[in-house]
Chains A and B, each alone.
Chain A
Amino acid sequence: MLLKLLFRNAFRHKLRTFLTICGICVAILAFGLLRTVISAWYAGVDASSATRLVTRNSISLIFPLPISYKEKIRNVDGVKLVAAGSWFGAYYINEKNFFANFTVESKNYLDLYPEFVIPPDQKSSYLRERKGCVVGEKLAKRFGWKLGDTVVLKGTIYPGNWEFVVKAIYKGSHKNIDESQFFFHWEYLNETVKKFVPRRADQVGFYMIGVRSPDIAATTARAIDKMFKNSYAETLTETEKAFQMSFVSLTQTILTVIELVTMVVIVIIMVVVANTMAMSVRERMNEYAVLKTLGFGGFYITGLILGESLLITSLGGLMGIIVTFPAADAFVGAVGDFFPIFNISKETIYLDIIASIIVGIVAAVFPIKQAVTVPIASGLGRIG
């Protein structure tokens, strides 16, 4: 019966309740999308492995390292695998078709990234083909590439038209793996560069290093950097996570602003719901006084008001969560491939639910206090 009363109270002013639910829905939608944007920003960091190190030139990533460092690094205690690589920075047809493309020492690089799942026949076909490339499934879908297709990229760092044959298409082992990358053999690049710009040959942008265990990552990194101390190209070695974080930290202020906005959205909707609940309770103060007259104590009054508030915020939250999924798809469509990974995580859904509950509870606090503490005679509006 009291549950019935709670439900009927919640929908007594249908328009007001509907608008409040819509408000919560929009707030939760905004909250969910912004949280997902933040997660997308950190996707590279989250996908990092604790057993991978990155060595680059200590001055800046744009300064190269000699390929001769590879064997020296390989011999450092704790190092299992080393793969040289460089950012290639080319685009497909025109500059709008931008995506991440790297030239790597393919065999070792793919061994370092077991999360790039490639069928064995495609992998061996790629490793055999000098002009072969591996593309992510999402990227292949984007441009309609199929196995065996010839793809021409326009180089920016290495100018000219570069021809590749799609030999393998990788999938991520889990949904947070970026499936929009492009890899090809460093040897192909180096041979071509040797031919046309010999002074740029035998240089790499970074070394990706696999270590035996995460525990020795720090000591191994220090050992590598120590080895190249006072050389003409000093190195900076860090974990893959720290390396990825260095990119995120460049936009840290934007992320902080987005995080602040998510909080502001929740606070605004909290005030809106609190106002709705305060209005409802004020209008029904007489009824709560009647209930108290009949013997219903503070526990019941609290339950009725809190339940109503939670019902409204839960419905709004549920609607918000449901619309977040199509909204996220539309968002990704609108921003293109700016966010290669844009998945609404379980954590975001949990945060949505928690935010809805917190809004429901906080919004009900003041009205509950009012209804519970008002003297019955005042509530009934008759003293004389």
Chain B
Amino acid sequence: MAPIIEIKNLTKSYRRGNQSIMVLENLTLDINENDFLALMGPSGSGKSTLLNLIAGLDKPDSGSIIIQGIDISLLAETELAKWRADNVGFIFQFYNLIPVLTAFENVELPLILTRLSKKERKEHVHTALKLVGLEDRMDHYPGQLSGGQQQRVAIARAVVTDPAILVADEPTGDLDRVSAQEVLNLMENLSNSIGKTIVMVTHDPRAAKKAGSIMYLDKGILADAPQTSFQECV
């Protein structure tokens, strides 16, 4: 299968005072369409930075990130914002729902930027909420939902525009075991049944096990999985 994401010689560093801290170094990586990839590694290994770069939330120092034929590292801020709205769905560790909007309104939010009519938007939101099993909670505010339910609303928001890629940063990091399992099952279903390409950052070996493939980052470069602890956990 052809790669949907092609990362070539990617380098990214941050400045902290006078120091330059290398986070990703000359990273090359291909991710195929419909892949469910788990990125693992210790804290500070660069996995969230890589996710940000793939999602177009940040720009690399050098190298290219070609997604569906477009090098997003060359896009201007406004073009990048539009590209994100059209192509990427986001799932965050802490859900990041807008607390003053209902579940329905949170899911509808990304559709505001599309040309869909109000009626069409409503249909899309219903479909997305049905997909995550929360159609009956659409009028609830995030504060009235459990953590697992909030994350499912966040997943509905991520898929409502039907993006090609879903990026998830520790999606089960703030959930209890049962809720985490529900969310992972949902993501697995999105990958297997709907064919979404998912890139997920996680520390949780059980979450990684749900993914079709696992990549391990250490100090900004791809590394072999640690033989002891990681394999044991999986």
Contact = CB atoms under 8 A, between A and B. Distances in A.
A1 B118 CA distance: 10
B100 A5 contact: yes
Interface string B85-121: 1100010110010111100010011101100000000
Contacts of A107: none
A16 interface: no
Given A286-B96, A293-B57, A295-B110, A1 B105 contact: yes
Interface in B137-176: 157, 169
B230 interface: no
B57 A377 contact: yes
Interface centre among A12, A287, A294, A297 (most CB of B within 10 A): A294
Interface in B47-66: 47-49, 52, 55, 57-58
A290 interface: yes
A15 interface: no
B75 interface: no
A5 B106 CA distance: 10
Interface residues of B, number: 36
B81 A297 contact: yes
B212 interface: no
Interface in B20-69: 23, 43-49, 52, 55, 57-58
B200 to A, nearest CB: 14
B81 A377 contact: no
A8 interface: yes
Q: How large is the interface on A (under 10, 10 to 19, 20 to 34, 35 or more residues)?
A: 20 to 34
B228 interface: no
Secondary structure at the A interface, as helix, strand, loop or mixed, is: helix
A384 B81 contact: no
B220 to A, nearest CB: 11
B177 interface: no
A294 B55 CA distance: 10
B112 A384 contact: no
Interface centre among A2, A4, A291, A382 (most CB of B within 10 A): A382
B48 A384 contact: yes
A16 to B, nearest CB: 14
A157 interface: no
Contact of A376 (B57, B78, B93): B57
B84 interface: yes
B81 A383 contact: no
Interface of A: 1-2, 4-5, 8-9, 12, 286-287, 290-297, 375-377, 380, 382-384
Interface of B: 14, 23, 43-49, 52, 55, 57-58, 77-78, 81-82, 84-86, 90, 92-93, 96, 98-101, 105, 108-110, 112-113, 157, 169
Given A294-B90, A383-B48, A384-B44, 18 more contacts: A1-B105, A5-B100, A8-B101, A9-B100, A290-B90, A293-B84, A294-B109, A294-B110, A294-B157, A295-B110, A295-B113, A296-B112, A297-B78, A376-B52, A376-B58, A380-B92, A383-B49, A384-B45
20 contacts: A1-B112, A9-B100, A12-B100, A286-B96, A287-B96, A287-B98, A290-B92, A293-B57, A293-B90, A294-B110, A295-B85, A295-B113, A296-B112, A296-B113, A297-B77, A376-B58, A382-B93, A383-B52, A384-B43, A384-B48
